[in-house]
Amino acid sequence: MPDSRPHDADLTQPLPALTADGTLAIPSAALDVYTMAAGSTEHTALSVVGDYRLQSNLGEGAMGTVYRAERQSNGRVVALKVLSKAVATRPGFVQRFHREVRAMGRLTHPNIVRYLAAGEDGGRIYLAMELLEGGTVAARVRAAGRLSVTQAMAVGVATGRALEYAHQNQFVHRDVKPDNLLLTSQGVVKLADLGLAKATDDTDVSLTGTGTGVGTPEYAPVEQIRDAKRADTRSDLFALGGVLYFALTGVPPFPATNFLELLKLKENGAYPLASTKNREVPTVVDKMLGKLLARLPEHRYQSATEFLQDAEWSGFTADRIE
């Protein structure tokens, strides 16, 4: 008897293109993988999506919910992102999700979360990712108050290596932040959520109009906050500086109580040296932060490689938290 369950797509295979209105254009050969069906129930009532049996809710974001799930055909436990019902019918959000799949299917790196498969079941678009059991860098810092200099620099080096690889493959992340840095049970740091990734060789500019910011303002540079179209690889490096500062001190470099105050602080560009909040921070790390968090992109490191070289010359090469 043939298997009638929805199947998902191996991300090593080409993904369907997008039509002009932002919906998925499904090749006839892939109809068994990307079956567009109407009608669904709320995610809280779900127990099975495609070939995946949901076990628990791991968290919710702007685009949907992430579950711990088991693939029934082989028993593999994964993190399964399911696009929320509220946004699944909005072409812009579907396109963002599709872009995330396309991006992650192209990127394979030990410091980037691995995406395994994508598909659709009953109108629900889903994405299977490797499950990491170590939590987030954000949670680790909040629990400890701050990380040691060695641990914080391991976060910085791992993120730098992930960005170096992504940038070399023409991707700008645009939402680097502590919550998007996940840990394995062995403490390896991995960059997640390329849902906002912008392929720098992609001519499709329909998603983000001029004057619209994308990303997390707390960690994004001012040029990106004002206009996401101005974000480039150096914008990711500014966000990396914010992550490193947070890991070293337990607070972001530009603390503010509201958006306008945050924008003003970033326009000014001044922030307290990390060493004033953590006496263990050496001068060389303060200097690296100065180049990462520079107000003007041309004053920052011009590549992740430059940052990694400075880190290596200063004795920081580990990419895991011991």
Give me the active site residues, please: 175
Q: How far apart are CA 205 and CA 223, in angstroms?
A: 17
Residue entry with tokens 């028993």: 75
Query: How many CB atoms sit inside 10 A of residue 88's CB?
Result: 18
Instruction: Give the CA dihedral 276, 279, 285, 290, nearest 10 degrees.
Output: 0
State which amino acid sits at residue 110.
P
Q: Which of 56, 74, 76, 52 is nearest to 66 (CA)?
A: 56
Strands (E), 155-256: 171-172, 181-183, 189-191, 198-199
Structure-token match 């179209």, residue found: 229
What does DSSP assign to residue 113?
P
> What is each CA distance from 313 to 128, 189, 236, 308, in whole angstroms?
38, 21, 22, 9
Distance CA 116, CA 141 (A): 29
